[in-house]
Amino acid sequence: MDIIKPRIMKGTRDFLPEDMYIRDKVMEIIKGHFTRYGFRPLATPAMEYYDVLTGKYGEEGEGLIFDMAYKGGKEVALKYDLTVPMCRVIAQYRDKIAMPFKRYQIQPVWRAEKPQKGRLREFYQCDADVVGVKEVSADVEIIALITDIIEDIGFTQSKTFLNHRKLLTGLMEYLGVSAEDIPVAIRILDKIDKVGVEKVMEEFIQTGYEKGVVEEMFRLTETTDDPIKDLNKLEDALKGGTGEESASEAINDLKEIFRLLKEIGISRDKVIFSPRLARGLAYYTGTVFETVVEEPKIGSIAGGGRYDTLIGLFTGVDVPATGMSLGLERIIQVIQELGMMKEATGSVDILICPFGPEDVGASLKIAKEFRKAGISTDVYTSDRRMKKKLKYADRLGVGKVLVVAPDETARGMVRLKDMESGDEVEIGIEGVVEEVLAHLNKMSKD
């Protein structure tokens, strides 16, 4: 028989139990905040029709869609993100969805890109979106949600950078960039975080922009630590110019967002006005934001923005929407590298070890009582020496072992062992659940 070499596709991962405990813990924190903010769960299929996904992400995103041949043609694709499938759902079930619609979704997505550290072909996204609210209060709620989640996970030094696509459009119009060239200019500007200001300026000039225009672009987008002052400066500079209308709407939105953030108690150093922030996806129409963790310095772990025309591609009628996506893989990678969440270990509270084969029945009966009481319980049913059973418990990080042996059971007793201290105590089989719980509570107080 030929042996099949065990392997997985590049850019994908297996998650062993030790990995899954941390992932489950992080997702539990994220889901808890989603539900507390009033978001409702949604799930969509792994595959979508190809035309549902295409024409919405921009040139770079389109090239990363994982398309698949289906019955001889390119008709289906793995979903690139969770936003476009959600928009398809809203269009498809309009009569069943009440507006405003607040949904969260935690599912895998796929990107056909070259795998590297922090970038996989298959990874989980954690999204929350508000649909049907045109007011910027929805954007404020999303930013507040991100801030709460990041802090609860354990990253206290985070910043959310905030901008507005219409401000960028107005700025480009003011600088004389033609309408058809604005998306390209925004895409070049979006590379600042990856390659730096100098290289972006060089690319603008190589693309055909005059040096004076590029310098003016960067002069106008310099900022201080006062967002209102910076917005007023831009408002004055663009007044009377070609891009005044677009920029004015964006500036008013941003001023209102900063006012509301202050009112709900989010400090100024948590949300930063960043007029060079673009975000690459083509479907953004208004506010855009990106959250980075500065200590430890791990870069961007969340982002999002407003996409008021995306649902209209499916319905013919635009519906306001805004939302965010958390980069789960990067968060977990840093948690593991820094040794955070060490408490997220085994899910088994107690391991029952029968001394021999004749004790298995009694052990399974006791385990059933523990499980009925909501205590996670495992039974080591294999007939091996007790030393190996205790070594197994230690390897799995199980703190308490209940030994069921014929000498003790003949007296109506079992033995409880604390794996950390090595202490042992006999307890009665009758009412064993209550006795074990009482003993564990006493030990935790001591």
What is the pLDDT, as a whole number, of residue 252? 96
Q: What count of residues does the chain have? A: 446
What is the pLDDT, as a whole number, of residue 343? 65
Distance between CA atoms of residues 297 and 26, nearest Å: 19
What is the pLDDT, as a whole number, of residue 430? 87
Helices (DSSP H) in 239-311: which residue ranges? 244-263
What is the pLDDT, as a whole number, of residue 87? 97
Q: Please report whether residue 130 resides in a domain.
A: no
Phi, psi angle pair for 405, to nearest 5°: -125, 150
| Cα dihedral value 256, 259, 264, 265, nearest 10 | 140
With beta carbons less than 8 A apart as the criterion, state whether 205 and 216 touch.
no
Q: Please report whether residue 4 resides in a domain.
A: no
Closest CA to 106 of 331, 263, 315: 331
pLDDT tens digits, one per residue of 271-319: 999 999 988 778 899 999 999 987 777 778 899 999 999 999 999 999 9
Q: Please report whether residue 415 resides in a domain.
A: yes
Percentage, residues of the chain above pLDDT 90: 56
Distance between CA atoms of residues 406 and 154, nearest Å: 48
> What is the arithmetic mean of pLDDT over 236-254?
90
Query: What's the structural domain count of the chain?
Result: 1
Lowest mean pLDDT among 222-236, 281-295, 315-329, 427-441: 427-441
Q: What is the pTM of this model?
A: 0.87
What is the pLDDT, as a whole number, of residue 443? 56
Q: 393: domain CATH number?
A: 3.40.50.800
Distance between CA atoms of residues 41 and 324, nearest Å: 15
pLDDT at 442 over 70: no
Q: Please report whether residue 439 resides in a domain.
A: yes
> What is the arithmetic mean of pLDDT over 237-241?
86
Q: Where are the beta strands (DSSP E) in 58-193?
A: 66-70, 73-78, 101-110, 122-131, 157-164
pLDDT tens digits, one per residue of 348-394: 889 999 999 999 999 999 999 999 998 889 999 888 889 999 999 98
What is the pLDDT, as a whole number, of residue 113? 84
What is the pLDDT, as a whole number, of residue 167? 95
Q: Please report whether residue 51 resides in a domain.
A: no
Q: Please report whether residue 433 resides in a domain.
A: yes
pLDDT tens digits, one per residue of 123-168: 999 999 999 999 999 999 999 999 999 999 988 788 999 999 999 9
What is the pLDDT, as a whole number, of residue 336? 83
pLDDT at 402 over 90: yes
Q: Please report whether residue 354 resides in a domain.
A: yes
The parent domain of residue 433 ranges over: 350-445
Phi, psi angle pair for 112, to nearest 5°: -85, 70
For 177, the token pair is 């960039």
pLDDT at 193 over 80: no
pLDDT at 71 over 90: no
> What is the arithmetic mean of pLDDT over 97-122?
90
pLDDT tens digits, one per residue of 198-227: 898 999 888 888 888 889 988 999 999 999
pLDDT at 446 over 60: no
> What is the arithmetic mean of pLDDT over 252-270?
95
